[in-house]
Amino acid sequence: MRLNEIRFNDGLPVEGYGPGFFRVGGKVLTGGLLLLPDHDPAIWQGYDELDPLLTASGDLDVLFVGTGSEMAYLPTAFREALEGAGIGLEPMASPQACRSYNVLLSEGRRVGLAARPVT
């Protein structure tokens, strides 16, 4: 079997996560995580922080939304605002959202991640 190194040319992958933190680009971010195309990793304050997501709508095909340790429904206002801006949403538990984001990022897709930390 031949193994190929994964290259992330268009963004930074999530390198790790744990209770209350994410590791991206060798740095630990405490709290929620926001990864958008052509932006530095940032702390995501949660579902009320829509502006950076809406601003990036033209650069995103899909936004993975990590809902924390368990899968949860997205708040209606959050979902409607982003879908109205043409952003496809994929809610899932944060560990799965991080892995899915990394896979699509490695394929060169236009993806973003907004994730709540696991507990």
Mean pLDDT per block of 10 residues along the chain (119 residues) reads: 56 96 96 96 97 96 97 98 97 98 95 97
Provide the pLDDT for residue 11. Answer: 87
Q: How many CA atoms lie within 13 A of 29 on its CB side?
A: 22
Q: Where are the domains of the chain?
A: 14-115
14-115, CATH topology level: Hypothetical Protein Mth938; Chain: A, (3.40.1230)
Burial class (CB in 10 A: 0-12, 13-18, 19+), 73: exposed
